Amino acid sequence: MENIRSYSRTTTLDHAQGQHRVLRNTYALLALSMVPTIAGALLGVQLKFSFLAGNPFIAFMLFLGVAFGFMWGIERTKNSGMGVALLLGFTFFMGLMLSRILQAALGFSNGGTLIALAAGGTGAIFVALAGVAATTKRDFSNLGNFLFSGVILLLVAIVANIFFQIPALALAISAIAVVLFSAYILYDINRIVQGGETNYITATLAVYLDIYNVFVHLLNLLMAFTGDRD
């Protein structure tokens, strides 16, 4: 009986150490991924990068195609160094795509402040929710299907508003996106802690997308409500 108890304790300890290792590696790779993101964003702003701005629908579909292509490649190579390389390439691409909204923000006289507030707000949301997800004993895995359904509906609304161009709908989309992807931060970090995700490259990709979307939509809301053209 004592041997069984000892084996159980050892197994539990190994499991906890494995979860901690995945979480630590996820945070390290997440921090590294910000470097190509910032580099891509700065390059895009400098070059006034525009991704088929004349046709928003085709631009959005092409963006999704490239993004999903990267994500497919990352998932296929997640157990090798190529997975890290593809992830960093993906974050550089996302930085380039980010440059368009940064250019719009910089068109306001308080654009720098808006970007800083969005970054600070995103950081605060991440730290708070990641802290809760990492320390609570509650398992949030039951949120997965609900959050995924929310993302699908959000994508449908974004595509619809490409054609209708309704300002109020755009604001509603951004507000819902901030809440939705904030919840995803809670879900994705908790999933690592609970042992539901054991690959740090896949985990980093998920958390990166959460943070990216919170920042973009938070900046959209700040520009709409506190942007100063004077």
Burial grade of 25 (CB within 10 A; 0-12, 13-18, 19 or more): middle
Each residue's pLDDT, cut to its tens digit, for the chain (230 residues) gives: 555 555 445 555 555 666 889 999 999 999 999 999 999 999 999 998 887 666 888 889 999 999 999 999 999 999 999 999 999 999 999 999 999 999 999 999 999 999 999 999 999 999 999 999 988 888 888 888 999 999 999 999 999 999 988 999 999 999 999 999 999 999 999 999 988 888 999 999 999 999 999 999 999 999 999 888 76
Kindly state the tokens that stand for 194: 């609970």
Three-class SS of residue 88?
helix
CA–CA distance, 97 with 102 (Å, rounded to integer): 9
Helix, strand, coil fractions of the chain, as percent rounded to 5: 85, 0, 15
Residue in 178, 159, 186, 180 with CA at minimum distance from that of residue 225: 178
**Cα 170 vs. chain centroid, distance in angstroms?**
19
Closest CA to 221 of 154, 169, 165, 171: 171
What's the pLDDT score for residue 121? Answer: 96
Give residue 53's pLDDT: 66
Find out whether 90 and 74 touch, Cβ atoms under 8 Å. Answer: yes
CA distance 54 to 119: 28
What is the pLDDT at residue 16? 61
The secondary structure element, H or E, covering residue 79 is none
List CB contacts of 111: < 8 A, sequence separation 6 or more.
Answer: 105, 227
Instruction: Judge whether 183 and 145 are in contact, CB under 8 Å.
Output: no
Calculate Rg over the CA atoms of the chain.
Answer: 19
Would you say 198 and 18 are in contact if contact means Cβ atoms under 8 Å apart?
yes
